[in-house]
Amino acid sequence: MNSREITLIGPEGTNLFVFFQFLILNLISWFNLYLLENTLEFNLSNVLFRQIIFSLLGVAVFFLFTYISINNIYNLSEVLLFSSTVLLFGVLFTQESLGARRRYDLGIIDVQPSEFTKIILVIVIAKFLAESSKNIWIIAGVIANVLLIFLQPDLGTTLILLILIFLLMFISSTRIIFLVTVLISSFFGFLALLELNLVNRFQVKRITDFYSDIQDFSQTQARLQISLGGLTGQSIDENISIFVPVQTTDFIFSAFSKNFGFLGNIMLFSLWVLFALRVRRLVLKSDYVFEKFLLSGFIILFFIQIFINVFTVLGLIPLTGDPFPLLSLGGSSILATSAAFGIINRSFIENNLTI
């Protein structure tokens, strides 16, 4: 890897493609929330103002992680894993909200540690796969983090992490028989938890309702909202009232589809695909094994979250409550995603790709 001085902005301090991609995705979120709320007030109760503040903090986080070398990220992985474990354990003793304990209430904002755990586990698993001698403590830490998130309970994030782990192992040299064993063990482990009543009843009801004839109200309304978007989106003057719960977070894709239509969806997904292809070029160029797994892990994580959010909105899978990266309202998700973009930016710089 190259050791070089990094400036704050300019060709030595950011890959212009990564930075502008990051900014564009944030601006799309602002515009979408403005069309959704049709107002901007300078107080934290206004969702658009909150999103702007989170995005500006995200830019600071982006550049903060640009200053941290990929080698330092590698060396800090176990410290990050330990910190994630402590935060996830502590959140189990916080005030329950809507049947779960997932956030630290800091008054002005809430911090959801599981969002940062997603990024940390990408780093940790990338290190694990890159090492010739496997570290048992990393395996134990990863399992502990997944279990702690499951106990919140947060079945959606647990599912994301399990898929992430499986896919990262799949693209590595891990044997297929081991992957099949892990997959089967996870399935029967979940069945065992169901039998022991260790899965939240509300989440069990979501799953059983999905596979029955019961139509979920939120998903039904979200599909109706998507249909209003048509080809180019529904204008404010044509506004038709459809109630979609938590449409600034879990169901943000239905609001985006209504505002920008089918062509807007094509544009949004194209931005993410172009970003993934750009990062793939770096993965192929890099000769640092840890970096290859790290970058691949971030892309896999982003697309898992996107597909799960979209599939949830379309009613193809049960409700999960997982955000759409940089589109959903949420400080923890934005800051965690910003950290990943900053690390990707640093990787581009260290490989002399600044444009």
pLDDT per residue rounded down to tens, the chain (355 residues): 444 555 555 546 678 889 999 999 999 999 999 988 888 888 888 899 999 999 999 999 999 999 899 999 999 999 999 999 999 999 999 988 777 888 898 877 789 999 999 999 999 999 999 986 677 888 899 999 999 998 898 888 999 999 999 899 888 876 666 666 766 777 667 666 666 666 666 666 666 665 666 677 788 888 888 888 888 887 655 556 677 888 888 899 999 999 999 999 999 999 999 999 999 999 998 989 999 999 999 999 999 999 999 999 988 888 777 899 999 998 999 999 999 999 999 999 888 776 6
Q: Quote the pLDDT of residue 207.
A: 65
Residue at 3 is within a domain: no
CA–CA distance, 183 with 164 (Å, rounded to integer): 12
Q: Quote the pLDDT of residue 74.
A: 95
Residue at 7 is within a domain: no
Write out the H or E segment, with its range, that includes residue 180: helix 176-195
CA–CA distance, 17 with 274 (Å, rounded to integer): 10
Identify the burial level of 132 via C-beta atoms within 10 angstroms of its C-beta, where 0-12 means exposed, 13-18 middle and 19 or more buried.
Answer: exposed
Residue 201 to residues 6, 153, 155, 161, 187, Cα–Cα distance (Å)? 51, 10, 12, 21, 18
Residue with tokens 């900053």, as numbered in its chain: 342
Residue at 330 is within a domain: yes
Q: Quote the pLDDT of residue 136.
A: 85
Domains held by the chain: number: 1
Residue at 229 is within a domain: yes
- The structure tokens listed for 247 are 């449409």
Residue at 55 is within a domain: yes
Q: Nearest CA to 153 among 234, 233, 99, 207?
A: 99
Residue at 6 is within a domain: no
Range 268-274 contact pairs with CB under 8 angstroms and sequence separation of 24 or more: 268/28, 268/327, 269/306, 271/21, 271/24, 271/25, 272/302, 272/303, 272/306, 274/21
- 223 near 254, Cβ under 8 Å? yes
DSSP string, 267-330: HHHHHHHHHHHHHHHHHHH---HHHHHHHHHHHHHHHHHHHHHHHHHHTSS----PPPTTTS--
Q: Nearest CA to 90 among 107, 109, 105?
A: 105
CA–CA distance, 345 with 115 (Å, rounded to integer): 20
- The structure tokens listed for 154 are 């947060």
The distance in angstroms from the start CA to the end CA of the chain is 18
Write out the H or E segment, with its range, that includes residue 104: strand 104-105
Q: Quote the pLDDT of residue 302.
A: 97
For the chain, what is the radius of gyration of the CA atoms?
A: 20
| DSSP 3-state of 69 | coil
Q: Quote the pLDDT of residue 16.
A: 85
Provide the 8-state DSSP code for 151. T
- The structure tokens listed for 104 are 């630290």
Q: What share of the chain is helix, strand, coil (3-state, %, to 5)?
A: 70, 0, 30
Residue at 2 is within a domain: no
Paired strand residues for 97: 100
Q: What is the pTM of this model?
A: 0.90
Residue at 4 is within a domain: no
> In which domain, by residue range, is 78 found?
16-350
